[in-house]
Amino acid sequence: MAFIVQKYGGTSVGAPERIEAVADKVKGFVDEGHQVVVVVSAMSGETNRLIELAHAIDPKARGRELDVLLSTGEQVTIALLSMALARRGCAARSYTGSQVRILTDSAYNKARILDIDQARVRADLEAGRVVVIAGFQGVDAEGHITTLGRGGSDTTAVALAAALKADECQIYTDVDGVYTTDPRVVDDARRLDRITFEEMLEMASLGSKVLQIRSVEFAGKYNVPLRVLSSFKDGPGTLITLEDNTMEDALISGIAFSRDEAQLTITGVPDEPGIAYRILGAIAELNIEVDMIVQNVSAEGLTDFTFTVHRNDYDRAMDRLREVVKDMSAREVVGNTRIAKISLVGVGMRSHAGIASKMFGVLGQEGVNILMISTSEIKISVVVQEKYLELAVRALHDAFDLARHPEERTDLPNA
Amino acid sequence: MAFIVQKYGGTSVGAPERIEAVADKVKGFVDEGHQVVVVVSAMSGETNRLIELAHAIDPKARGRELDVLLSTGEQVTIALLSMALARRGCAARSYTGSQVRILTDSAYNKARILDIDQARVRADLEAGRVVVIAGFQGVDAEGHITTLGRGGSDTTAVALAAALKADECQIYTDVDGVYTTDPRVVDDARRLDRITFEEMLEMASLGSKVLQIRSVEFAGKYNVPLRVLSSFKDGPGTLITLEDNTMEDALISGIAFSRDEAQLTITGVPDEPGIAYRILGAIAELNIEVDMIVQNVSAEGLTDFTFTVHRNDYDRAMDRLREVVKDMSAREVVGNTRIAKISLVGVGMRSHAGIASKMFGVLGQEGVNILMISTSEIKISVVVQEKYLELAVRALHDAFDLARHPEERTDLPNA
């Protein structure tokens, strides 16, 4: 007997038939003798419907009342799933975030979980019930309803699994696991059996949208084994865990990429202490997040300063930089929105040199010019022109032999 | 400055534009210096949408999870109305039944209010906020969500007004008050300025659907002045209060009627002690409520026994009575579903004789045969063939001069 926390997202519960299919799946686990806590999202489309209602009243709706409104989405799902389970002879009880009590801070629309009351859930599990909990929501110390921000249901599931010390937290999605790269780009992309929390974090922050970053951070922090599975077809999915011996064979786990970035360069910047602060401080004031940052070596007292932002923030950042250029007597600001970021991710990089040079070599052979480079312990990211994205990802996937299982690979760098 | 509890029903908040209109109305009261607590129902159509979702999962859905589901309907409305108020510069805060805390028993789908926590509402009112509360719902001592049954939002409003000792409880509906009778049947039906709780109770239980019976009982018990008004047009509405001197002029306040009943008669019943119990006990076992009951004077040791039930229960009652007839060796059972009940209601009946005979006289003159009669302290009901319903109501409305204000009336019975 294991104790499992499962999370089903919006498309998995998008219609009564889908909810019945989830109930069948959950009952299967119960029949095998497992204890199950289920976390669900709002039915797909429901959150948008509620937001439209709010916007009809107030186009800038946010804050406390938006959370009161949006939290009804998951509440509908928990009731329907509990009914479906009961109808299958599977005793179940639903709880909202307030009821179970998922205590959060008071940051409406983007609250953080502080504590989870376990008594209620434990009592129900011991009474042989499935516990169905509304994801994405909680309650602050004053009893006000909060939400964790979009996609926060993953975080609810992981936090519950951590608090209740579940054996595994299973995230059911519309994909059957984490892949070496996006199968829509690379035909022979391979589903990973296992991946480390760190790698998954890099993959997620680099554009792989399988899991919410916060949920992976949470799982890593509390060492909750996390499994990504398909709610539509059977299979083992991908297990996300701490690094262990079985993973050592793989240098590279996957290739993540993103088209969401844009590049801004200020040229002819007087190379004085504090220029990075003056440039990035102006951007930070606009609440724009900066991703990669490169400052060129200085020549004749002048330097170039380049960074990337989310493509949606490009216009605002550009407008602000034009002012900054004048203020600091720099030459000019140039921008590029047609870029893409490609990242190799793998814990094996820690113990093996030469991955970066192999990567650059492969890209050079394909005629792909590298615009920016950034590295961390377990990842190498490059920015290239967007038009080379697919070509570059396919070439790297081939060169590092990712379509094959690590044990069959011969992927030692030949730098 | 007055302290008012207002309740807006489903059609009053049926669309974002309607919610904005309610916000305008509420703000008007706040601007006049009043303290306002607003109770709202689910947007019209929403409860049915949720019930359809539940029925897609379980055609017999009820119990705990149905309440978790249905309570989201009002939760959506409280959030939207609070947003609309805030946008008008009118500070507002929403509460679900669980949050405010409307404590009920644990009878899911038809819970009764036991207690209301006043601290939260008082604190908000003192901070200058409008408090917006979800009607129809509460929470039991264990923290489970309950609902009061359909239409229970009126009861929520009255219970809040009673607990908080509000100056008035205003129920906004799609009619502009309580009428002497249904204006769709009698053209010159007149809106009543005032009516007593007792009269309103009789009107409601006799088919006038302006207010829920339980809310009127509650208001009467705690002496909460209750006002029925239109949410679509301005006007004083009808005030429902304790009896006082200004009401003594009216003998009759109104005429209620219902087409919802059906009549069943067992003939040739041996006139022995216990026959009423044997007949009605069999009906009670089926959970069918009996309204009017008449037992004829015995002739040659045999009697007839007649009663009415809701028309929806007629077939089941008839089937059961056929067995009862055999068991007690009575002659036969005959039924009639084409009947209507017409009732004169008025506290003035207590002090004036002759109303009943005037009523019977009017009906006789019009050729309307009376099938059954039942009286109470403040009402006289008759059952007639359904085809005479409109004719009878109009004749009585005329005869008792109800189109005119009591002070202008000459309605002393001329029996």
pLDDT for A413 equals 47
Say which of B72, B143, B144 has its CB closest to residue A72: B72
pLDDT tens-digit series, residues A357-414: 899 999 999 999 999 998 888 899 999 999 999 999 999 999 999 998 877 765 554 4
Average per-residue pLDDT for chain B: 91
Element (H, E) at B98: helix B97-100
Interface mutation target, options A18, A44, A53, chain B, most CBs of B under 10 Å:
A53
Chain A nearest-CA distance from B234, in A, is 23
pLDDT for A114 equals 94
A61 touches chain B (CB under 8 A): yes
Cite the annotated binding site of B for substrate by residue number: 47, 74
Q: Which residue of A has its CA nearest to B61?
A: A83
pLDDT tens-digit series, residues B262-311: 999 999 998 888 888 889 999 989 989 898 888 877 778 888 889 999 99
Residue A180 labelled as part of a binding site: no
Confidence class of residue B400 from pLDDT cuts 50, 70 and 90? Answer: very high
Check residues A412 and B409 and name the one with the higher pLDDT: B409
Domains of chain A: residue spans and CATH? 3-174 (3.40.1160.10), 246-415 (3.30.2130.10)
Q: Which residue of B has its CA nearest to A21?
A: B57
pLDDT for A283 equals 92
Residues 66 through 105 of chain A touching chain B, CB cutoff 8 Å:
66, 68-69, 71-72, 75-76, 78-80, 82-84, 86-87, 93-94, 96, 98-99
Asked if B45 and B209 touch (Cβ cutoff 8 Å), the reply is no
In this model, does residue B53 exceed pLDDT 90? yes
In this model, does residue B411 exceed pLDDT 60? no
A61–B68 C-beta distance less than 8 A: no
B79–A76 C-beta distance less than 8 A: no
A87–B58 C-beta distance less than 8 A: yes
Confidence class of residue B320 from pLDDT cuts 50, 70 and 90? Answer: very high
pLDDT for A243 equals 81
B16 touches chain A (CB under 8 A): yes
Check residues B35 and B211 and name the one with the higher pLDDT: B35
Which residue type sits at B304? D
Cite the annotated binding site of B by residue number: 7-10, 47, 74, 173-174, 179, 184, 209-210
Cite the annotated binding site of B for ATP by residue number: 7-10, 173-174, 179, 184, 209-210
B123 touches chain A (CB under 8 A): no
A-B CB pairs within 8 A amount to 103
Residues 203 through 222 of chain B touching chain A, CB cutoff 8 Å:
none
B75: which chain A residues are within 8 Å (Cβ-Cβ)? 68-69, 71-72, 75
Positions in chain A short of pLDDT 50: 248, 413-415
Confidence class of residue B175 from pLDDT cuts 50, 70 and 90? Answer: confident
| Prediction ipTM score | 0.82
pTM of the shown model: 0.83
pLDDT for B247 equals 53
pLDDT tens-digit series, residues B97-131: 999 999 999 999 999 999 999 999 999 999 999 99
B19 touches chain A (CB under 8 A): yes
